[in-house]
């Protein structure tokens, strides 16, 4: 059941060039959210007819909900201006998230601000085997690495320009680890969030290896609760709603 909580901004800080951490005092949501679910934010400062904006959750702990977002358009530009102490209406918890445990080695693959739900996931999985693969165009797109380090997560990096980690796509270091796991006959699960190209690359690998793949889709949304049917993702079951049947889908269910 979704609630609409009037939260208060506890902090709002830069998370990198063009990226922001928004921390909200939202005790009801913080208690109920699980990794991979999203919240629907009524952005203050937009005219009242503008739609809400969906965000995945970076962290939900001790009465606070943390969002990690990139300023990309009108909605996030307005959101970037909210101040500590402002009230922000947040609806949630919404959608189906990631599973709460991983049978095999958890491999988390994130692109840019797609690492947001993977941080919440890593924190809840508490699995010492977890590896995060993170990619970006440059080192400026590598976010919250200190927060992953604090969780004890092994982090592997790739950037398109080689300014940090391996040069190229994040599938480079991922494939190296997959080869090793396969050689040792170990099972694994893939969890991913990021640009569509990355999601498809990860989903393809999960399906080909017959390993579980959990793909978090990012779609423009209207209602966020399954009422309007605007955020459709094609799946083997037809036109599924990203906001209800997703945003996390099984790799083998997605039709690209």
Partner 1 sequence: MVNMEVDLGGLKMRSPVATASGTFGYGFEYVGAVDYSKLGAVTAKGIRLDPWPGNQMPRHAEVPGGLVNAIGLQGTGVEHFLKYTVPWYRKQVPDVPMIANIWGGTIEEYAEVAARMGDAVDAIEMNVSCPNVKAGGHTFGQDPEVLCKVVSAVRATTKRPLLVKLAPNVPSITPYVRACEDGGANALSLINTIPAMVIDVETRRPVLANRTGGLSGRCVHPAAVKLVYDAHAVTKLPILAMGGIYEAKDAIEFFLAGATAVAVGTATFTDPGVVAAVYDGLTDYCERHGFASVAQLTGALSTE
Binding segment for partner 1 among 63-71, 79-87, 121-129, 230-238 (CB under 8 A)?
A: 230-238
Helices 196-209 and 171-183 cross at an angle (nearest 10°) of 10
Tokens of 102: 């991983």
Q: Is 94 helix (H, G, I), strand (E, B) or coil?
A: strand
| Residue 222 binds to partner 1 (criterion: CB under 8 A) | yes
Count, residues near partner 1 per rule CB under 8 A: 26
Question: How far apart are alpha carbons 231 and 52 in whole angstroms?
Answer: 13
| Residue 220 binds to partner 1 (criterion: CB under 8 A) | yes
Instruction: Among 72, 77, 176, 228, indicate the residue that binds partner 1 (CB under 8 A).
Output: 228
- Cβ proximity to partner 1: between 86 and 127 the closer is 86
Q: CA triplet 156, 162, 165: central angle to 5 degrees? A: 20
Beta bridge partners of 232: 241
Question: How far apart are alpha carbons 157 and 162 in whole angstroms?
Answer: 10
| Residue 3 binds to partner 1 (criterion: CB under 8 A) | yes
Q: Give me the 74-113 binding string for partner 1, x by CB under 8 A, dash otherwise.
A: ---------------x-x----------------------
| Residue 227 binds to partner 1 (criterion: CB under 8 A) | yes
**Interaction residues for partner 1, span 17-76 (CB under 8 A):** 42, 47-52
Q: Give me the 145-174 binding string for partner 1, x by CB under 8 A, dash otherwise.
A: ------------------------------
Residues in CB range of 206: below 8 A, 6 or more apart: 190, 212, 213, 251, 252
Beta bridge partners of 23: 11, 66
Question: How far apart are alpha carbons 31 and 27 in whole angstroms?
Answer: 6
Instruction: Among 2, 157, 207, 209, indicate the residue that binds partner 1 (CB under 8 A).
Output: 2
Which residues form the interface with partner 1 (CB under 8 A)? 1-4, 42, 47-52, 89, 91, 219-220, 222-223, 225-230, 232, 238-239
């Amino acid at each position: 059941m979704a609630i609409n909580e009037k939260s208060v901004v506890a902090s709002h800080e830069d998370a990198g060039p063009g990226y922001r951490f928004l921390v909200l005092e939202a005790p009801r949501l913080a208690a109920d959210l699980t990794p991979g679910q999203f919240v629907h934010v009524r952005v203050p400062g937009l005219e009242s007819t503008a739609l809400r904006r969906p965000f995945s959750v970076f962290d939900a702990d001790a009465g606070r909900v943390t969002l990690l977002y990139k300023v990309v358009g009108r909605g996030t530009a307005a959101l970037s201006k909210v101040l500590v102490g402002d009230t922000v209406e947040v609806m949630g918890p919404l959608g189906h998230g990631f599973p709460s445990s991983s049978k095999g080695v958890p491999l988390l693959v994130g692109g840019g601000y797609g690492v947001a739900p993977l941080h919440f996931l890593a924190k809840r999985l508490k699995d010492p085997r977890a590896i995060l693969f993170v990619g970006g165009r440059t080192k400026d797109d590598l976010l919250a690495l200190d927060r992953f380090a604090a969780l004890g997560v092994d982090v592997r990096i790739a950037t398109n320009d080689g300014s940090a980690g391996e040069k190229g796509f994040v599938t480079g270091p991922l494939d190296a680890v997959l080869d090793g796991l396969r050689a040792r006959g170990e099972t694994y699960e893939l969890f991913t969030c990021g640009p569509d190209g990355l999601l498809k690359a990860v989903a393809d690998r999960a399906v080909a290896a017959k390993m579980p793949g959990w793909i978090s889709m990012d779609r423009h949304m209207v209602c966020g609760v399954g009422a309007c049917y605007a955020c459709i993702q094609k799946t083997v079951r037809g036109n599924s709603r990203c906001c209800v049947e997703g945003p996390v889908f099984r790799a083998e269910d997605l039709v690209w």
